[in-house]
């Protein structure tokens, strides 16, 4: 029960097929032909941008090839609005993209590798290593550090595929999908230590039609976090741990924030995580909402908060003390969730006093603590009958 689930074996054949198809059908542009050096020391940022400009000048599918080796990159921005190629651009990565070891080089920017307004982009294989350990040490110590940079950010784009990619040691978020339509993330592997701050695995916000499947995520924050404006999201076949679980939120910081709806989270194993499935909102006035959400077929292995709705989020009692969350939570289903809780309370529904939760369904949920049934704690929501109230 405690063994970590792996989903990569079927994907390997898929990646081999995709790489072979790209080689046959697409024009290939090797970054080394533009001056990139696979020595892990030479700044190859300009070479990658030159390769991008070359494929953008085409009017047919093209592939940027990153061969084996380590390629050092500073912050790079791939502009889609300046790219005339809408027929499909593929980054086929066999090697490792390496950030500078000095966290100040990229740590003051929002993203290390950023794509903006791209169409029909695929990123296949490879490793992104942001070398974030020195920044984590700074954040966990004396302070005065930069906020840190997201490793891979996709902004305002359409039809994006990220397959077989490994992201490790991110300074901040590993992968950010924002303002994007129709993105597919499959076979992603994300790793950072449990004590690395703010290293969310995948964050989705203001996006629709995103799927995240067959992936292994272990990090210091949420394995997957779901921000405002996210609709029609599917998360399926995920191994999460360490980390803070899969979270909708935090939501409701601003009064006119967009809502979250039509989210399905299926077939997930949580191992030793702080939370399992969670909805988290600020205790502040807001017109936002969370509705039509399904959490289905989840296995909990020694999870501190297997099922939690927290509408009283107000760290350090700053900017929201004694307030009530305005986020309306409705139509939430927890179904077929089993395993072990690391705390006595396995189901915690702490809903807003001004806008109580409605339409909460708990079906076939069996959680134990120290060999006995776990408890439920509920405020402004009906406790599941299958649990005794804490």
343 and 376, same domain (yes or no): yes
- What integer pLDDT is reported at residue 389 of this predicted model? 55
279 and 248, same domain (yes or no): yes
> How many structural domains compose the chain?
2
Question: CA-CA distance, 61 to 252, in Å (whole number)?
Answer: 41
- What integer pLDDT is reported at residue 387 of this predicted model? 61
- What integer pLDDT is reported at residue 174 of this predicted model? 98
138 and 11, same domain (yes or no): yes
- What integer pLDDT is reported at residue 141 of this predicted model? 87
Please indicate, yes or no, whether the overall pTM of this predicted structure exceeds 0.85: yes
364 and 232, same domain (yes or no): yes
239 and 217, same domain (yes or no): no
Taking only the tens place, the pLDDT of each residue in 119-172 is 999 999 999 999 999 999 999 987 789 999 999 999 999 999 999 999 999 999
What is the extent of the structural domain holding 124? Answer: 1-221
- What the block records as the tokens of 330 is 């409705």
- What integer pLDDT is reported at residue 384 of this predicted model? 79
Helix (H, G, I), strand (E, B) or coil at 60: coil
Question: CA-CA distance, 285 to 324, in Å (whole number)?
Answer: 7
206 and 260, same domain (yes or no): no
Query: CATH no. for residue 26?
Result: 2.160.20.10
**Cis omega (within 30 of 0) for bond into 165:** no
349 and 259, same domain (yes or no): yes
Question: CA-CA distance, 72 to 48, in Å (whole number)?
Answer: 10
- What integer pLDDT is reported at residue 382 of this predicted model? 85
210 and 337, same domain (yes or no): no
- What integer pLDDT is reported at residue 142 of this predicted model? 73
- What integer pLDDT is reported at residue 13 of this predicted model? 45
208 and 242, same domain (yes or no): no
Contact 158, 120 (CB under 8 A): yes
166 and 78, same domain (yes or no): yes
The last residue of one of the domains, among 173, 200, 221, is 221
| Ordered strands of the 202-205 beta sheet | 76-79, 111-116, 150-155, 175-178, 202-205, 224-226, 246-251, 275-282, 305-313, 345-350, 375-379
The last residue of one of the domains, among 221, 237, 272, is 221
Catalytic residue IDs? 221, 244
Contact 227, 205 (CB under 8 A): yes
Mean pLDDT (10-residue bins), the chain, 390 residues? 41 48 68 98 98 96 98 97 92 98 97 98 98 95 90 98 98 98 98 97 98 98 98 98 98 96 98 98 97 98 98 92 95 97 97 96 96 95 69
- What integer pLDDT is reported at residue 9 of this predicted model? 39
197 and 147, same domain (yes or no): yes
Taking only the tens place, the pLDDT of each residue in 224-259 is 999 999 999 999 999 999 999 999 999 999 999 999
Residue 11 C-beta-side C-alpha neighbours within 13 Å? 19
The last residue of one of the domains, among 221, 248, 265, is 221
191 and 252, same domain (yes or no): no
- What integer pLDDT is reported at residue 2 of this predicted model? 40
- What the block records as the tokens of 308 is 């939690």
């Amino acid at each position: 029960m405690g063994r970590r689930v792996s989903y990569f074996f079927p994907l390997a054949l898929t990646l081999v097929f995709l790489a072979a198809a790209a080689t046959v059908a697409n024009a290939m542009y090797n970054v080394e032909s533009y001056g990139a050096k696979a020595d892990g020391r030479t700044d190859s940022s300009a070479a990658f941008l030159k390769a991008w400009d070359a494929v953008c000048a085409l009017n047919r599918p093209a592939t940027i090839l990153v061969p084996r080796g380590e390629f050092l990159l500073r912050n790079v921005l791939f502009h889609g609005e300046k790219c005339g190629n809408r027929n499909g651009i593929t980054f086929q990565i066999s090697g490792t993209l390496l950030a500078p070891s000095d966290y100040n080089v990229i740590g003051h920017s929002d993203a290390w590798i950023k794509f903006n307004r791209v169409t029909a982009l695929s990123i296949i294989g490879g490793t992104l290593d942001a070398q974030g350990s020195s920044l984590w040490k700074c954040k966990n110590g004396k302070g005065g550090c930069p906020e840190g940079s997201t490793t891979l950010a996709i902004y305002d784009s359409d039809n994006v595929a990220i397959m077989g990619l490994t992201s490790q040691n991110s300074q901040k978020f590993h992968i950010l999908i924002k303002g994007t339509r129709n993105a597919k993330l499959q076979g992603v592997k994300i790793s950072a230590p449990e004590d690395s701050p703010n290293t969310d695995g995948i964050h989705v916000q203001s996006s629709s039609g995103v799927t995240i499947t067959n992936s292994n995520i272990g990090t210091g924050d949420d394995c997957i976090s779901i921000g405002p404006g996210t609709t029609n999201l599917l998360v399926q076949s995920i191994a999460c741990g360490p980390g803070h679980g899969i979270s909708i939120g935090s939501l409701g910081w601003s009064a006119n924030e967009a809502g979250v709806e039509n989210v399905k989270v299926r077939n997930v194993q949580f191992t030793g995580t702080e939370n399992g499935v969670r909805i988290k909102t600020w205790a502040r006035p807001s017109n936002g909402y969370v509705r039509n959400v399904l959490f289905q077929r989840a296995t909990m292995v020694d999870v501190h908060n297997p099922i939690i709705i927290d509408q009283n989020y107000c760290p350090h009692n700053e900017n929201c003390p004694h307030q009530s969350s305005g986020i309306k939570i409705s139509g939430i289903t927890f179904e077929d969730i089993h395993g072990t809780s690391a705390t006595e309370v396995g189901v915690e529904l702490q809903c807003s006093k001004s806008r109580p939760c409605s339409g909460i369904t708990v079906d076939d949920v069996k959680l134990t603590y120290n060999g006995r049934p776990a408890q439920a704690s509920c405020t402004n929501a009906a406790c599941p009958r299958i649990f005794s109230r804490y």
